[in-house]
Structure 1
Amino acid sequence: MTIASSVLREADGWIGTPYRHGGSSKGVGCDCLGLVRGIWRALYGEEPEQPGAYAPDWAEAGGGDRLIDAARRHMAEKSVGTMQPGDLLVFRWRPSVAAKHLGIFAPENRFIHAYEGHRVMASVLVPQWRRRIAGVFAFPAPARCDAPPSALLSIYRRAGISPSKGEIG
């Protein structure tokens, strides 16, 4: 199983989770960032960093582009033209504001996301959403995570991947 298929399998398991700003618990409540945090924990264990406080308002000013900056620190950036199912999509509502929404690109031109007033759902990536994509990122292979070699085997197992000989030190 690939990382992308593991991401999609995990994201699919979150569908129906109620929206809860700041939450990241499958079946209990999450927002779009909490969905991604939960997927990360399921695949890699501990999150690489804590998000800190953030407002649910899409028009929040100041503070830089925290979501894109964090994705760049921990994931591989891609162009929109090369996005594949399992990739993280980062959305910006307007050019003058920070990116404030996340989703997982899924087959059949859909994406899985938590959206205020709804449960986690798969939506069609219609032009209104597509034009707001501010970044596309691939989840890292387990070996790219900052984990000691002894922890990598359990990361591979959680992701449902059998490591090749020599991949784990």
Structure 2
Amino acid sequence: MSKFKVMVALCCLFSSAVFASKKHDGSINTAYLKLDSRSTVSTSRHAGKVVGRAHELIGTPYRWGGASVSQGFDCSGLLVYLFRSEAGIHIPRTTSLMLKSASKVVKRAHLKSGDVVFFKHNGGQRMKHAGIYIGDNKFIHAPRTGKYVRIDSLSNKYWNKSYLTAKRFH
């Protein structure tokens, strides 16, 4: 992809994120950065709905910037869609903003179905990817261009090496 196309795509993504976060008075809503335990769903029933819907979306095409069934999903768009539609929770649109939120960090040994798992690129320092933990050491995610929403294992060599952390939004 040319530098120009990348810049245009990034500008569009940033603009849509800012537009979507505007309050009715025109100011930018940063409340999503302040997610805490009061804004999480307190029951596992909601986590079950999020995970159940994620299973239904397996096979949906990946689309960079996508956040709907009709468009397809990128990794963060899938999570935003799941939490909003199934639990009424508005989480940040990007993986980096999800990580910056005040939502509870979860140790890998304490993962529960519905937690969001985050990965670094090839085990490096840069945060790159996220998915929804579904139990049994597995997660559902939208991997990359040309692929589809699918289940992978945290035990897989790549995902194990690239695992960064997890957060609980439910």
User: What is the TM-score of this pair, normalised by structure 1?
Assistant: 0.64
Q: Which residue of 2 aligns with 1:155?
A: none
**2:164 pairs with one of 120, 134, 141:** 134
Tell me the amino acid that sits aligned with residue 29 of structure 1.
G
Deviation at 1:74, TM superposition (A): 5.2
The CA distance in 2 between the partners of 1:8 and 1:20, in whole Å, is 20
**2:149 pairs with one of 120, 127, 132:** 120
Q: Is the 8 A contact 2:91 2:98 kept in 1?
A: no
Distance 1:2 1:72, change over 3 A: farther
Name structure 1 gaps, 5 residues minimum.
52-66, 141-169
Aligned alpha-carbon RMSD (Å): 2.2
The CA distance in 2 between the partners of 1:74 and 1:12, in whole Å, is 27
Q: Which residue of 2 aligns with 1:10?
A: 53
- Count, aligned residues: 125
- Any idea what SS the aligned residue of 2:121 has? coil
Q: Is the 8 A contact 2:123 2:163 kept in 1?
A: no
Tell me the amino acid that sits aligned with residue 161 of structure 2.
R
- Any idea what SS the aligned residue of 2:127 has? coil
**2:104 pairs with one of 64, 73, 76:** 76
Q: Which has the higher contact order (CA 8 A, sep 6+)?
A: 1
Describe the superposition over 1:25-64 as per-residue Cα deviations: whole angstroms up to 9, x where unpaired.
Answer: 125411111110111211344735454xxxxxxxxxxxxx
The CA distance in 1 between the partners of 2:92 and 2:141, in whole Å, is 21
Describe the superposition over 1:60-81 as per-residue Cα deviations: whole angstroms up to 9, x where unpaired.
Answer: xxxxxxx254234153211111
Distance 1:27 1:69, change over 3 A: closer
